[in-house]
Each structure stands twice: as structure tokens, then as C-alpha cells.
Structure 1
Amino acid sequence: MVYKFRVILDAEEDIFRDIAIQDDDSLEDFHNAIVNAFGFDGNEMASFYTCDDQWNQEDEISLFDSGDVPGEQKIMSDYQLSEMLDQENTKIIYVYDFLNMWTFLVELAAIEEPEAGASYPDLLFSHGEMPASAGDRSFESEEMRDDIYGEFEDDLDEDDLDMFDDNDNFEDYGFEENWN
């Protein structure tokens, strides 16, 4: 069988890719298909996360074994797609590059017979341009921006900032200069 997924970047703009992949391919194969579909170089760590119907993150399935005991932790290559997803369990979260936290909501849209002559995985549809970084968000108005950032504004005056001028006076902070 062929699984058809919609992979949506968790961003302000609508950016998604539709990918078809065989149900007996591994999560690692699916990871590679996502990396290619979104134009990443594939050199960063990534994980899938099981989730509930409301996208609440549950168990991690990483690309590499990062456990204390080698071989104890199951990784992407250990799971076939059909073991993780089916008609009742259609959602999974994918995170690529833990420094930038590219986060994707992945939903199984259809399970179909393979098309004769088609090769899988296959990028079926692409919508939207990837932003320069995962944190790029465009806020529509200054008022909206102020609503979001206003709660973090401080009412510090110059006298409050003077305490940071003398970085060598650590006794005032309750620890010694050579604390480690």
C-alpha cells in the first residue's frame, strides 16, 4: 500500500508538501523524503514524535541511538510506517535540526494502492516557500507585535542598569569570582 501524507511546516505562512511513500518503508526513509521535499541538506539531527489527535507530543523516535546503552533505544530505521500509522492513528510530529527547531505536523491523508510505474517516495505537491530560518514569523501589524512583545518590556531606568557596569564585583551576587 502507499501512504499519502501532508507535511505542514509549523509557521505563520502556509508551507506544506504532499508525499507518497510505501507503507513498508521505514521512518528513516520518510525522514529522507521530508528532508528532500523541503530542501534541507540532511546533515542535522531529527526525530519523529507520536502524538494524540490534538498534536500533543508523546514518545520520541530519533534518527540515531542516543541512549545510555547502545542498541537499547529503537530508532527510525527500526519502524515501518505501517507500524506507526494507520487509519486510526494518522498524526505524527517531525522535528528537524534541534538548533533551529524546524517543526512539522505530519498527517496521513490516504492509503491507496500503488500506481503502476510510479516510484516511491514521491513528492506529489509543493506549496509555499521555506523561510530563511525556522523562527521567521511575520506579524501583520505593529499593534499585534506590541501585544506579543509588550509583556516583556521592562521599566528599567539608568540607575537599574548601572549595577551591570562593574562586572568584577561578584560578591554582591552571593558567589565568588572563581565559583567553579
Structure 2
Amino acid sequence: MIYRFRVIFDNDTEDDIFRDIEIRETDSLEDLHNAITQSFGFDGLQMASFYISNEEWDQGEEISMFDVSEGNSSVRLMADTPLNNAVSETQTKLIYVYDFMSMWTFLVELAEIVEETEGADYPNLMFVHGQIPETAPEKMFEAENFDDDFKDEFDEDDDLNLDDYDNLDFDENWN
């Protein structure tokens, strides 16, 4: 079977920028990663991850390019994860982040599952709409009630003086 994905650049402008990609259901997420980077004109040399997502586009389990967990936990890897193991008719959404320094973010949605066309090459870039900007837009991360949550924690009336090094309550030779 062939999975048809719409990959939408998650920007805060009114410009729609997306790519429609066909790929075999048995291809890996690494194959989809390569198709996405090529279709948007990236060199593909930066770190990237997919995240399983729900209907509200909440970020779930990470599926990474490389295992950087240092043995603390098992991490699913793109190369070892077939598409049909990450998405299905009931689980259709992924978030894709490319280049963690720039945070290029894409919403990836399984739009359709179709029969393979004999003689067709896959992955196949079906449709291109809009051009990606030269630099990633800045992401604004907001925390609700941040000031209220930490106001008591860091009250200006505290007697804490960072210049008074000798009276700080910690062991400077802890390691």
C-alpha cells in the first residue's frame, strides 16, 4: 500500500507552505525524513525527529534519527521504524522537527492510503505549494501563569544575596 502524506510547514504566517508525498507503507520513517528534507530543499545533514501526535497536534513519543539516550532508555529510531508502525488510519498525525538549532517544524498527516501504481517510483513528490523562507521563524514559547507560579519562589524581599558568596547554603566542593 502507498501512504499519501501532506507535510505542512508550521509557520505563524498566512502563507500556506506544504508538500504532498507518496511513499510505501513499509518504507521507514528515515525514508520519509529524506523525502521531506529533499522536497523542502534542505541538505538533510541536521538532526531531526518525528513525534507521534494526536488530533490536537500534541507532541507525543519521539522517534529519533540517532539514539542519544546514553543507554538510559530505549528510543525508537527512524531507520528501524516502518511507516505502518507509526501511522495508520486511526493514528494519522506526526510532528516532524528538523535542525534542533533552528526548529523547522512540520505537521505531517496521513491523508490517504491507496494501491501502489505499477511502474511508479516511490517516494514520489506529488504536489508543491509555497516556498519555505530562508531562515526558520522564531518560535515563541509561552508558559501560562509563569509569573504567578514563580512569584513566591523568587520574592524580592528574600534575604538572598548572590554577591555574599560565603553565606550561600551549598557545598562548593560537591564533586
Q: Give the TM-score band, short-chain normalised.
A: 0.7 to 0.9
Counterpart residue number, 1:64: 66
Contact 1:47-1:94 within 8 A present in 2 as well: yes
Q: Does 1:121 align with 2:123?
A: yes
Deviation string 1:65-95 (CA, Å, 9 cap, x unpaired) is 1011299422111110001111111100000
After superposition, residues 65-84 of structure 1 pair within 5 angstroms as 65-69=67-71, 72-84=74-86
Counterpart residue number, 1:9: 9
* Aligned residues: CA RMSD: 2.1
Counterpart residue number, 2:52: 50
Q: Does 1:27 align with 2:29?
A: yes
Could you tell me which runs of 5 or more consecutive residues in structure 1 were left unpaired when the two chains were aligned.
138-171
Cα shift at 1:39: 0.5
Greater helix share, structure number: 1
Distance 1:14 1:175, change over 3 A: farther
Contact 2:67-2:75 within 8 A present in 1 as well: yes
TM-score (norm 2): 0.77
After superposition, residues 111-150 of structure 1 pair within 5 angstroms as 111-135=113-137
Cα shift at 1:19: 0.2
Corresponding pairs, count: 144
Cα shift at 1:104: 0.2
Letter in 2 for 1:125: F
Counting aligned pairs with the same residue, the percent is: 50
Contact 2:5-2:20 within 8 A present in 1 as well: yes
Contact 2:2-2:23 within 8 A present in 1 as well: yes
Any runs of at least 4 consecutive aligned residues in structure 1 with deviations exceeding 4 A, and if so which? none
